[in-house]
Copies of this chain bind each other. A is one copy, B any other.
Amino acid sequence: MILKTQIRAGTYFDSVVLMHLQRSLAGLPGVDDAGVVMATPANQELLAEFELLSDEGKAAGADDMLIVVRAETEQAAAQAIAQVDDLLKKRRSNVATEFRPHSLDGATKQLPQAEFVLISVPGRYAAGVAEQALELGKHVFLYSDNVEIADEIRLKEKGRAMGRLVMGPDCGTAILNGVGLGFANRVRRGDIGVVAASGTGLQAVTAGIHNLGGGVSQAFGTGGRDLKTDVGGTTALMALNVLARDDGTKVIVLVSKPPAAAVAARLLGAAQAMGKPVVVQFIGYPPPGRQVGNLHFAASLHEAAETALALAGNAEGAKVTEPRQGYLRGLFSGGTLAYEMMLGVQATLAPLYSNTPISADQKLDDVFTSKGHTIIDLGEDDFTQGRLHPMMDNDLRLRRLKEELEDPETGLILLDVVLGEGAHPDPASELAPAIAAGHKQRKDVEFVALVVGTDEDPQGLDKQVEQLESAGARIFRTTAGAVEYASRRLARPPEMMGTAVELGAFQRPLAAINVGLESFYESLKGQGAEAVHVDWRPPAGGNEKLMGILARLKTTANG
């Protein structure tokens, strides 16, 4: 076998052109395999994997087009390479010859009503194009990947200040005003809105909604990094806010791979405050339960679609309570109850601390001193070595309760009361007086008791509940109930700074400018949307990396 390599330095074609050329070459007589790529390190590695990388090929750079043919004979390889120009010309003549602007400015003049710009140019140029689009006042759909996170943060902050959405980078899909952007299934319009930090997540959910007979109002992609700590969910929060205000949206579905815990809490806090039912599927993120107020947690993407449909058929405003000040202080005797409670409230309450934390950053420095929202398992070794378990002996709990009452930041004190064999014969007789005294001492603190027991338990379930209730505690019999109550009372929605997105852009027929992959333009036109394709090329001449840096410096200086 013969390996023949040709490098065209500084020559750019988009990936569709390269793919077609590679296929054509691989199909030529005597050719065993072929590779046609921009010679990025990743592409070189792939070529090597398929034994298509020569030493010559290794020397090429990211701005060079690299053509490799593996053939049975030297002659077959040479003949294949010789056809490259003809094949490129043939493809070129197939492409429509309508007038195409060479810049965003030009495209804007050609289609002034365009409010969206789709960008799928190579990653290192994408931030610059997106910046330009924002400066022209457009919403941005940024398909490109390999965009630096610093650029993402900067673009999203800029968009937030202006009330413009930056969907992406690495945003594969959206359905806006009934038109699919990037990869999108064709679905009927309806009353379910979607916000997704995951491309096929959005596709699976919207396709599911359609297949089950429902429809989609708007579906926003945010890009996979939006829910990471550094970005903080900016686009997801803005998109949620649009759907909350949109009269055409009855139910919202929120989809993501596991988000950062603090970002999850911000988003769910915002979702909770909206009142509309929100179906959440943070795939692989431990759900706090099936339902917390207006938040419904699905177990799969398909179930998210099913749940949204069920809720849309039966939507009613959720009760939104005015949240109170202060932090949760949970003093538990049952370790698993503490854990389940923590799992439940961590969805909306932050910061949360514990002596038995779920994640390492929730670890309490000093188990004897609460801070923020705190849940303490008093049955842990810290407290039980050589002492009775708190289910038998309330001493430590009563002492801790007094300390929490001294803390002005305490807003709600939660105690579990676990009845049954082996436990204290009458725990309420000790806890209720302490709760009653606490009420007197601090009118601004609520007391909640989570009572686990049966009507056959020796303590007498009803008698226990009665004592606790008359002392002023609110009683729950399942963790889910206590979670929902604490979350509703103590969660505070994040402040939405910046400018609200103007809803008009989502009420007019979609018009968009496409920069990058031509197939996305064709898809827009095929769906009946107004669109203009920019005939984009990498900034001309010499060192393109330097050009990129210069462009970024320029926009930063302006910004």
Contact = CB atoms under 8 A, between A and B. Distances in A.
Interface residues of A, number: 106
Nearest to A62: B386
Interface string A364-384: 000010000000000101111
Most chain B CB within a 10 A radius of its CB, from A23, A211, A478: A478
Interface stretch (A42-50, A91-99, A271-279): A42-50
Nearest to A287: B299
Given A200-B337, A457-B186, A368 B422 contact: no
Contacts of A6: none
- Specify how many copies of this chain sit in the oligomer: 2
A395 interface: yes
Interface string A199-237: 111011001101100000000000010000000000000
Interface in A404-431: 416, 418-423
Interface of A: 15-16, 18-19, 22-23, 37-38, 40-43, 46, 49-50, 62, 122-123, 145-146, 172-173, 180, 182-188, 198-201, 203-204, 207-208, 210-211, 224, 255, 257-258, 283-287, 289-290, 297, 299-303, 333-337, 339-340, 343, 358, 368, 379, 381-389, 391-393, 395-396, 399, 416, 418-423, 452-458, 477-480, 519-520, 523, 526-527
Contacts of A388: 15-16, 18-19
12 contacts: A15-B387, A16-B392, A19-B387, A42-B384, A42-B386, A123-B385, A186-B420, A199-B335, A200-B333, A204-B336, A208-B478, A301-B478
A185 B384 contact: no
Contacts of A340: 201, 204, 283-284, 300-301
Contacts of A200: 333-337, 416, 418, 452
A209 B12 CA distance: 67
A480 B419 CA distance: 39
A183 B299 contact: no
A526 B421 CA distance: 9
